[in-house]
């Protein structure tokens, strides 16, 4: 994975680059809006990490201009601004995800991988399946093997989110934002509790392999069909 890191603060840039390279990504860095525009326009990156507070320009404006020029590279925005207006403005300008400083690196890396994957396949699937677990988004039916599984609406949304990201690690923050529409601070435990409910219904009654796995210190994952 080739990642462009646009960040003017050298210390942050250094650990982001170090972390990504340890995980096997190749990185290139930019410190200004101009550099970013020049590098991103050739479209050779799999993802961009963009800090909004750049010395020469507002990251949102540069991003908007790039999107107008047809650049489709997924962009994860990093910012110290976390007001709802800022978030909305960033996403409207064409950002694919939003991470507020300070963040944990594992969070950044998990989101980046999810972004990268999402970019490859536009996800409008109605049928999600992992091993013998099948989830029908339209009829809201979940079955494992021949057996029907009854889920509450929240459990269903949670399983759907996990299955859409099968093969990826999703962090609690990602789950909180996407399933609960909440920030993770107060919902981290809630997610664990619901994950417990889900395991009780999806994994425990069946002989097959356990599908919902905990990734210690990061979040949860469901293996994709290749692995399962």
161 or 206, CB closer to other proteins?
A: 161
Among 38, 72, 125, 193, binds other proteins (CB under 8 A): 193
- Candidates 34-42, 128-136, 138-146, 192-200; binding stretch for other proteins (CB under 8 A): 192-200
- Selection from 21, 218, 196 nearest residue 114 by Cα: 218
Q: Name which of 81 and 118 has its Cβ closer to other proteins.
A: 81
Mask for 157-186, x = binds other proteins (CB under 8 A): -----------------------xxxx-xx
User: Is 105 a binder of other proteins (CB under 8 A)?
Assistant: yes
Is residue 46 a contact partner of residue 71, using CB atoms and an 8 Å limit?
Answer: no
187 binds other proteins (CB under 8 A): yes
How far apart are alpha carbons 158 and 202 in whole angstroms?
A: 12
How many CA atoms lie within 13 Å of 161's alpha carbon, on the beta-carbon side?
A: 25
Q: Does 192 sit near other proteins (CB under 8 A)?
A: yes
What H or E segment, with its residue span, contains residue 213? strand 213-215
Q: Is 134 helix (H, G, I), strand (E, B) or coil?
A: strand
Smallest gap from Cβ 14 to other proteins, in A, equals 8
* CA 176 – CA 100 distance, rounded (Å): 14
The least CB distance from residue 150 to other proteins, in Å, is 18
Q: Which residues 5-24 are close enough to bind other proteins by CB under 8 A?
A: 9, 11-12, 14-16, 18-19, 22
d(CA 134, CA 160): 10
Least separation, in Å, of the C-beta of 153 and other proteins?
Answer: 9
What's the token pair of residue 193?
């509790």
Tell me how far, at minimum, the Cβ of 196 lies from other proteins, in Å: 10
* Least distance between other proteins and beta carbon 94 (Å): 18
Please give the Cα distance from 80 to 51 (Å, whole number). Answer: 9
Q: How far is the CB of 212 from other proteins (least distance, A)?
A: 18
Q: CA-to-CA distance for 195 and 188, rounded, in angstroms?
A: 11
Contact positions with other proteins (CB under 8 A) in 36-75:
none
Question: Which residues, 112 to 151, sit near other proteins by CB under 8 A?
Answer: none
Judge residue 51's burial from the number of C-beta atoms within 10 Å of its C-beta, 0-12 exposed, 13-18 middle, 19 or more buried. Answer: buried
Tokens read off for 170: 């999703």
Contacts with other proteins, residue ranges (CB under 8 A): 9, 11-12, 14-16, 18-19, 22, 80-85, 88, 101-106, 154, 180-183, 185-194
């Amino acid at each position: 994975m080739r990642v462009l890191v646009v960040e003017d603060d050298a210390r942050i840039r250094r650990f982001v680059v170090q972390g990504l390279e340890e995980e096997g990504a190749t990185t290139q860095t930019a410190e200004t809006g101009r550099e970013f525009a020049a590098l991103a326009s050739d479209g050779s990156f799999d993802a961009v990490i963009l800090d909004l507070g750049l010395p020469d320009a507002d990251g949102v404006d540069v991003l908007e201009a790039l999107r107008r020029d047809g650049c489709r590279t997924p962009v994860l925005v990093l910012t110290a601004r976390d007001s709802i207006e800022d978030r909305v403005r960033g996403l409207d300008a064409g950002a694919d995800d939003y991470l507020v400083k300070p963040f944990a690196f594992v969070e950044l890396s998990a989101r980046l991988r999810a972004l990268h994957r999402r970019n490859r396949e536009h996800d409008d699937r109605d049928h999600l399946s992992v091993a013998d677990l099948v989830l029908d988004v339209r009829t809201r039916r979940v079955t494992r093997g021949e057996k029907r599984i009854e889920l509450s609406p929240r459990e269903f949304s949670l399983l759907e989110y996990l299955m859409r990201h099968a093969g990826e690690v999703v962090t609690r923050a990602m789950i909180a934002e996407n399933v609960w529409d909440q920030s993770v601070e107060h919902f981290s435990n809630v997610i664990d509790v619901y994950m417990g409910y889900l395991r009780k219904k999806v994994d425990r009654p069946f002989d097959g392999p356990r599908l919902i796995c905990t990734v210690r210190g990061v979040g949860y994952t469901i293996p994709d069909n290749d692995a399962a």
